[in-house]
Amino acid sequence: MKMAERTEAVGEAGGFGSAEIPHDSSALLVWLTQLVRTHENGTLAELRRAGEPTNAHIRAGWFGGDEHRELFERVAFLFAVYHQGRSVPSYGLDSLGGAARRIGSGKEWGPTNPGAVRLVARVVASRRVPWRHLQHVVTRLRSLDKAPPRWDKLIEDLLRWEDRSARVAYNWSVDFYAPDHRRGK
């Protein structure tokens, strides 16, 4: 989804005017999935590196525009973590809460699995974007060979994380604890 932010730019007459610097989550996902399809393992490995930004991080950040550069870099990191060693990209299913329902083992999955419950509780309790806990969710889904959250939805949710009226954390909780009959099962 393309959204725009406003910034000051020099206009044709040399004065300052308004210019749009958009963020484009769709373009980021096209680029990331292409990396998986074409086996650009070096670039994906760069995205998985923490610490100093690599060229791959910087490129991912450009899809976020000026205001959301870091968020796009970090989502690209999560995408690369999930796709490590995979040759087919996954666009994901559900919100992060819905995806967390796929965490568990045996007869205990999602809200009946104590580990999944604790992990979701840590994610939704955070006032700031809980990057470390999001990485844990993605890593658990990858290790269980379960679908990740929808990457485009994850980006849009994280863009609105601190907007109390968006209720992102609440909606993730609702999706996680939704009874099976509500989910069409």
Give the residue from 51, 70, 89 where a domain finishes: 89
Considering the domain architecture, whether residues 184 and 96 belong to the same structural domain is answered as yes
7's tokens: 């910034």
| Domains identified in the chain, total number | 2
Considering the domain architecture, whether residues 129 and 116 belong to the same structural domain is answered as yes
Considering the domain architecture, whether residues 51 and 65 belong to the same structural domain is answered as yes
Considering the domain architecture, whether residues 72 and 21 belong to the same structural domain is answered as yes
Parent domain of 71 = 1-89
Per residue in 79-101, pLDDT (tens digit) is 999 999 999 999 999 999 999 99
Per residue in 35-46, pLDDT (tens digit) is 999 999 999 999
Give the residue from 89, 112, 139 where a domain finishes: 89
Considering the domain architecture, whether residues 96 and 183 belong to the same structural domain is answered as yes
Sign, Cα dihedral of 23, 24, 27, 32? positive
Considering the domain architecture, whether residues 64 and 24 belong to the same structural domain is answered as yes
pLDDT confidence band for 50 (50 / 70 / 90): confident
Considering the domain architecture, whether residues 72 and 13 belong to the same structural domain is answered as yes
Assess contact for 39 and 87: CB atoms under 8 A: yes
- What is the crossing angle of helices 69-82 and 55-62, to 10°? 120
Per residue in 134-149, pLDDT (tens digit) is 999 999 999 999 999 9
Considering the domain architecture, whether residues 54 and 132 belong to the same structural domain is answered as no
Considering the domain architecture, whether residues 115 and 180 belong to the same structural domain is answered as yes
